[in-house]
Structure 1
Amino acid sequence: MKSNIETAEIAQPYAQALMSIAQSQNLAEQFGEDARALLNLLKNSAPLQNLIDNPFIQAERKKAVLTQILGDGANPYLRRFFLLLIDKRRLFFLEAILQQYLVLLRQLNQTVLAEVTSAIPLTEAQQQAVIDKVLAITNAHQVELETKIDRDLIGGLIIKVGSQVIDASLRGQLRRLSLRLT
C-alpha cells in the first residue's frame, strides 16, 4: 500500500531529475505530453497497472513490456529514465512521479490546473468561459482543464483551482438553501 507522504518524498526527487533532463535538452513540453499519455494509459489499463505494482514480476519482463509500450519513437532520455526506475525498484511510483513532473511543468509555464466537474460535457464555448474566469481569478498565463462528469450535480459546475473551490452547481445551491432554512 502506498502512503501519500512516502510517495511524495520518493516521487519529488525523481520528478525534479526528469525535469532537469528535460530542460537541459529543451524537451520539457514533449516529456509533458508523454507523461500525460502514459498516465492516461495507466488509468485505463488494469493489466499494465498490475505489472507496475507487482513486485514479483522480474525486472527484465517489466523492461521488455515498457520498451514495447514506448516503441521505437520514444525519446531515449525518457526511455533510460524509465529503465532506471525499474533498476532502482521505483517503477511502483511511476504514476506519482509523472504527476509530480506535470506539477513542475505547470509551475515552469505559469499554468494552473482547473478541475471542472459538470453534470453534462462542456461545449468549447463553455470551456473557454471557464478558462477566462480562471485566468481572471489567478492571474496565471495559461489554464489546463481537467473535466469530469457527475450527473448528481443536476446542473451547473464546480471549479477547483488549487485549494479554492467555486461551487456553481444546482446541488450546491440546494444544499446552501437547505442550510439557510434550518
Structure 2
Amino acid sequence: MSELATLARPYASAVFKRAKESASAARWSENLAFMSAVISSKEISVLVNNPKVKKDRLTGLLLDVSKGQIDNEGVNFLQLLVQNNRLALLPDIARLFEEQKAEDEGYIAVEVLTAFEFTNESQQKFAATLEKTLSKKVHMNVTLDKSLIGGVLVRAGDRVIDGSVRGQLQNLQKALL
C-alpha cells in the first residue's frame, strides 16, 4: 500500500498544483471521487487489471462511463493514467489530493468510528476537543462500529487515537502475554 501511495503522490501533487492554479479544487475533488469510484467498481476493476484489454478500448469505455461527470481536464487526466498504466492509483491519488486540499484550507479530515451514536451536542463537544488536540479545524466523518464495544477510534491523517474498549483490551492482552 505504501508503494502505491509513493507512486500516486506525484500525480496527486500535480493535480493539486493545477487545481490551485485554476481555482478549481472543488471540481477536481468531484472528478477524482467519481473516477475513483468508477475504477473501484467490481465490473470496471476486472477490465482495468486485464492485460488483454487494449488501452484505447479501456479509454473509450471509461470516457463513455464518465461522460458528463468529469470536465475536460479530468478527461485528459484519465487518459494520461490509462496510457501510463496507472489507473489503479486513482483511489490513492484522490486520497492524497484531499489531504493536500485539507492542509491548504486549514482543516483536517477526521474519520471517527464510534460504538454508539453521538448526540448533536456530544458530537460538537467531541469536535471541539479534537480541534484543540490536533490544533486544526476538523471535518468529522462519524461511522457506527459496534465491534468497538465502547469508546471511539479516531483517524486523522497518519495519526490514530484509539479510545475504544476493544483497543484497551488488546493492549491489556499484549501486556499480559
Structure-1-length-normalised TM-score:
0.79
Q: Which runs of 5+ in 2 are unaligned?
A: none
Per the alignment, residue 14 of structure 1 pairs with 11
CA contact (8 A) 2:32 2:90 kept: no
Secondary structure, aligned partner of 1:26:
coil
- C-alpha change, 1:162 and 1:72, in structure 2 (3 Å) is closer
Secondary structure, aligned partner of 1:136:
helix
Per the alignment, residue 80 of structure 1 pairs with 76
Measure, in 2, the Cα distance between the counterparts of 1:4 and 1:101: 16
Which amino acid is the alignment partner of residue 65 of structure 2?
I
- C-alpha change, 1:42 and 1:148, in structure 2 (3 Å) is farther
- C-alpha change, 1:11 and 1:173, in structure 2 (3 Å) is closer
Residues 88-127 of structure 1 aligned to structure 2 (within 5 Å)? 88-127=84-123
1:59, distance to aligned residue in structure 2 (A): 1.3
Structure-2-length-normalised TM-score:
0.81
Bigger shift: 162-171 or 78-87? 162-171
Cα displacement string for residues 131-172 of structure 1 (whole angstroms, at most 9, x for unaligned residues): 2222111221x3233444332212221123244433332334
Secondary structure, aligned partner of 2:113:
strand
Per the alignment, residue 26 of structure 2 pairs with 29
Per the alignment, residue 36 of structure 2 pairs with 39
- Paired residues in the alignment total 177
Which amino acid is the alignment partner of residue 118 of structure 1?
T
Bigger shift: 122-131 or 69-78? 122-131
Measure, in 2, the Cα distance between the counterparts of 1:118 and 1:70: 35
CA contact (8 A) 1:114 1:134 kept: no
CA contact (8 A) 2:99 2:157 kept: no
Q: Which runs of 5+ in 1 are unaligned?
A: none
Counterpart among 33, 57, 61 of residue 57 in structure 2: 61
1:38, distance to aligned residue in structure 2 (A): 3.8
Which amino acid is the alignment partner of residue 90 of structure 2?
L
CA contact (8 A) 2:39 2:87 kept: no
Counterpart among 152, 159, 171 of residue 154 in structure 2: 159
Matched, 1:171 2:169: no
- Give the fraction of aligned pairs with identical amino acids, expressed as a percent: 25
1:174, distance to aligned residue in structure 2 (A): 4.9
Secondary structure, aligned partner of 1:160:
strand
1:80, distance to aligned residue in structure 2 (A): 0.8
CA contact (8 A) 2:8 2:92 kept: yes
Q: Indicate the RMSD between aligned Cα atoms, in angstroms.
A: 2.8
